[in-house]
A and B are shown apart, each in its own frame.
Chain A
Amino acid sequence: MADEAYVLDGAREGDSAAEPVAGELLRRLGDAGWRAEAVRLREVEIAPCIGCFGCWTKTPGRCFRDDGAAEVARRAIRSGLLVYVTSVTFGGYASPLKKALDRMICLVSPFFQVVDGEVHHRPRYPRYPRLLGVGVAEGEDGERDRVFETLVHRNAINLHAQRWAAGVVRSDAPEDRRRVRLDELVRRVGGPP
């Protein structure tokens, strides 16, 4: 649904930094007019992608494994806004979020096309959600934040997101500062159509 924001809550078990941010983000998205819903990935059974490319050639558009990743992929492509929430891990995503993303390559076509001089996979679907990446990390670290934002940008290109935003929320910042930061990120990605 075009007005649905689907939040992939990639917090690890006992991740006291990312968990409250996911909750607060749901409220911020709701205030911006999105029908926001989150899935706690750590509670979903998702096997790692084994790189067989069966989702491209054997059972086109879906993985042969019938576990929680199928529902995550289905909800993701039907949403208007896909949101990643994760503790920033070496500048990238923590493993629970990455496990779900690795299983979402079924959402694009195996065939190639050139986009801005680079090769990428062609879209499979006529429409793709916008993408918002929210990283949670402690302290100031410009380089870490830059790597995270670049990663979300690269994902947006590969997932054919027409609009994207990304940023890191400081877990050690006061609550009102975190809220302002989340509002800013939600504003950047825009409200529902």
Chain B
Amino acid sequence: MRRALLLLGSPKAGASTSGSLGTYLLLRLGEHGLEGGQRRVGEVLRAPGGLDELAEAVERADLLVLSFPLYVDSLPAPMIRCLEALAARRPGSSSEGAPRFVAIVNSGFPEASQCDTALEICRRFAFEAGFPWAGGLALGGGAAVDGRPLERAGGMVRNVRAALDLAAEALARGEPVPEEAVRLMARPLAPRWFYLFMGNLRWKRAARKHGTLRRLHDRPYL
């Protein structure tokens, strides 16, 4: 049976949007006959021998899926650490027999295009480490998903589900992520003004809860 391995890059211990996207894709791949497994980057790095175990799991897989949040226009540092280790274990490797590689990135900014550089870095990793690049998907406004399973996140994420459905079908056939899936995933989840309004409200609510509303603009390093 063919295997898909999901590597989750969110540093959050609990539910995350990266998890929502990655596990949904894994479920859909399962319907197309791919057995799924997943690893969390944080756990891989903390476990003794975790990177070796990850490298072995990657070698056994037919498809490697990275799902991560955009951090400073790129991948979170622990995910880069994992990719550095995977690449170091495959010096000068040919891509023959290596799992195909697909990346899903979600950003707190509403524009999916802000993920472009992170996807370029993923593509470069695939090229340098000898994994056939199967494409990337970028979601803007990922905070609106807030770690909920996509099946229960309502109509707001219908394009996200459709994008991942299309991607799963194509990936299971051995094809790259279709352009239509990329376009659907990049569609805004909500009008920008609404997302900004809700986003700014979210910070104020959190500050009120922590009793820091009047200190939100503090400059402790001046």
Contacts and interface: CB of A to CB of B under 8 A. Distances in A.
Interface of A: 48-53, 56-62, 73-74, 77-78, 89-95, 98-99, 101-102, 104-105, 107, 109-112, 118-120, 124-125, 143-144, 147, 150-151, 154-155, 158
Contact of B212 (A60, A91, A109, A118): A60
B203 A111 contact: yes
A51 B10 contact: yes
B77 A49 contact: yes
Interface residues of B, number: 50
B102 to A, nearest CB: 15
29 contacts: A48-B76, A51-B10, A51-B12, A53-B206, A56-B206, A57-B212, A57-B216, A59-B212, A61-B220, A89-B80, A90-B122, A90-B128, A91-B121, A93-B74, A95-B81, A98-B71, A98-B72, A98-B76, A101-B77, A107-B221, A109-B217, A110-B203, A118-B114, A119-B192, A125-B219, A143-B124, A147-B117, A150-B117, A158-B72
B77 A74 contact: no
B69 interface: yes
B215 A49 contact: no
Contacts of A48: 11, 42, 76-78
Contacts of B146: none
A137 to B, nearest CB: 11
A49 B11 contact: yes
B31 interface: no
B207 A60 contact: yes
B114 A90 contact: no
B66 to A, nearest CB: 12
Interface of B: 10-13, 16, 42, 69, 71-78, 80-81, 83-84, 87, 109-111, 113-114, 117, 120-122, 124-125, 128, 192, 196, 199-200, 203, 206-207, 209-210, 212, 215-222
Contacts of A90: 80, 83, 87, 121-122, 124-125, 128
B76 A49 contact: yes
A82 to B, nearest CB: 13
Contacts of B109: 118-120
A89 B84 contact: yes
A151 B121 CA distance: 9
Contacts of B13: 50
B37 to A, nearest CB: 23
Contacts of A95: 77-78, 80-81, 84
Contacts of B12: 50-52
